[in-house]
Copies of this chain bind each other. A is one copy, B any other.
Amino acid sequence: MSKFWSRTAREAEPYVPGEQPSDVNVIKLNTNENPFPPSPLALEAMEQSINADLKKYPSPTADRLKAVIAEREGVDVNKVFVGNGSDEVLAFAFQAFFDPNEAIKMPEITYSFYPVYANLYDIPFQQIPLQNDLSIDVEGLKRSVGGVIFPNPNAPTGLALSRVEVESIVAHNPNQVVIVDEAYVEFGAESAISLTKQYPNLLVTKTLSKSHALAGLRVGYAIGDVALIEGLERIKNSFNSYTINRVSLAGAEAALADEPYYDETLQAIVKTREWVTHDLEQLGFWVAESKANFLFVKPNGIGAETLYQQLKARGVYIRYFNKPGLEGYVRISIGTDDEMKRLIDIIQALIS
């Protein structure tokens, strides 16, 4: 605490990201990264962008990237906003659409950055408990005072709502903005993007970090009604004129255009997720029905924290959340088949 800090700095409760070990031999199943490399076409486009033009600012409006996204998502280009990772997009959205003194709603167990944003911008929030089966309480998210945010699929459970359920939350908050964070949607859940045509209060955010294997590049986006996009642009242009650099723009444009590559890798990840779920269940573990690239798991025969520590000691990083309601669980990202076989082998040895 310093006398030079603002009230905002004093009251901030920063987010703590998963560990990024420098040892390259580690099997990293702790931050939901994609086990496959980015599209070769994306790598090539980035290489091409490494030239003398880097002396010049990037496009402040990122029109070309927005056009690629609009094409891919089947929306008009003026319904697209882009940012430096979906974390930045979400931060801008909190600032653009939520107000102090008007409590927003979010699930009690969810992406733990949401309460951090709320604290940063002094927005009160109500955390709605999950249902007994760990799914999001759809009724509980209706009729908010200040707005709603939730991920679909939810993190860290991986459980998804149907589009009809998402729509009922949006329809029952007609005067509030509802943000649906679809960071993991490409791994098997239903996107709500088509609903943005009917609902001017719906903002859907996505990221290239997971589905497009570009966590290292930092590109995210949002889709919503023109007025919502304009609100985001107002905040962004009051914060940083050029949030996405030239190389990231080039890489993101090429990645989003390479659908065949990503279709194939997404399918491979889903396939791996299915057999790992089966194997963990065979070991007596409880596994939530994941529509994401990670599994939310309740170990059996070994404590969650012990499992995390024992795996770490053997060079396999998974995520353990030392938080009320989450102590009994671990979250395991889906790696390659080889990585997951190694994981299962170690777990088998640990519990036998």
Contact = CB atoms under 8 A, between A and B. Distances in A.
A128 interface: no
Contact of A235 (B9, B43, B47, B50): B9
A217 B54 contact: yes
Contact of A227 (B2, B214, B227, B243): B2
Interface stretch (A13-21, A157-165, A180-188): A13-21
A-side interface mostly: loop
B238 A57 contact: no
Interface in A201-242: 201, 209, 213-218, 227-228, 230-231, 233-235, 237-242
A47 to B, nearest CB: 5
One complex includes copies of this chain to the number of 2
A12 interface: yes
Given A227-B4, A240-B91, A33 B46 contact: no
B43 A234 contact: no
A283 B184 CA distance: 62
A238 B52 contact: no
B36 A46 contact: no
A6 to B, nearest CB: 5
Contacts of A53: 216
Nearest to A175: B3
Chain A interface category by residue count? 35 or more
A271 to B, nearest CB: 18
Given A55-B35, A216-B53, A239-B88, A12 B234 contact: yes
B34 A55 contact: yes
A9 B55 contact: no
Interface of A: 2-9, 12-17, 20, 28, 31, 33-38, 43, 46-47, 50-60, 84-85, 87-88, 91, 95-99, 116-117, 119-121, 175-177, 200-201, 209, 213-218, 227-228, 230-231, 233-235, 237-248, 251
Given A5-B96, A5-B97, 10 more contacts: A4-B176, A20-B57, A33-B55, A36-B55, A38-B55, A55-B215, A56-B215, A57-B215, A58-B215, A218-B245
Q: Which 8 A-B pairs have the closest CB atoms?
A: A14-B237, A37-B52, A2-B227, A216-B246, A54-B216, A55-B213, A17-B241, A120-B238
7 contacts: A4-B200, A4-B227, A9-B96, A14-B238, A33-B56, A37-B52, A38-B55
